[in-house]
Amino acid sequence: MARSIWIAGAAGAVAVAGLGLALWPAGATEAPGGILRWQDPAVVAQGAEIYAAECAACHGADLEGQPDWQVRNANGRMPAPPHDRTGHTWHHADALLIDITTRGTAAVVGRGYESDMPAFGDRLSEAEIIAVLSYIKSTWPAEILEIHAQVNAAAAME
């Protein structure tokens, strides 16, 4: 009986893994769990346009963030961080980045945390948010992309 349960469990795991691989786009360089479409030129171009209109005022035209982004402002809030390799955006899994952009940092963090990062879920569609984040990710160098793939893989296992 125990052997039958083990075989059934193993077969299920193989089926799930096979489905994941079937859904993994050809040429992708990260494990399933990555949501952003940073290798799709049309999505990246759309994201760049939206970023320029909606995000660059705070996060910088070149993703550089605000000066002294790691030091609290007089109001106690953190300045907008960079989204390039010098920031911490790539430390977060795709799903969390989408959640933060959709609901705003304060809503995601909770516990009374205050942030100037607004929720964009009522201004941008999920596809537009994914496009913006895909654009941001498309600018990261290979070593950061590799680390971010590991972040996504770890998040997918949680």
Q: Report how far residue 152's alpha carbon sits from residue 87's, in angstroms, rounded to the nearest whole number.
A: 17
Q: What is the pLDDT of residue 33?
A: 53
In sequence order, the 6+-apart residues with CB closer than 8 A to the CB of 19 are none
Per-residue pLDDT, 71:
93
| Amino acid code (one letter) for 3 | R
pLDDT at 97 over 90: yes
Encoded amino acid at 36, one letter: L
d(CA 70, CA 8): 51
Domains and CATH numbers, the chain: 33-157 (1.10.760.10)
Is residue 13 predicted with pLDDT exceeding 80? no
- CB neighbourhood size of 68 (10 A): 10
Instruction: Give the 3-state secondary structure of residue 90.
Output: helix
Q: What is the pLDDT of residues 100-132, one digit of tens each?
A: 999 999 899 988 888 899 999 999 999 999 999
pLDDT tens across 30-82, in order?
Answer: 444 578 999 999 999 999 999 999 999 999 999 999 999 999 999 999 999 99
Which structure tokens are listed for 54?
Answer: 């909606």
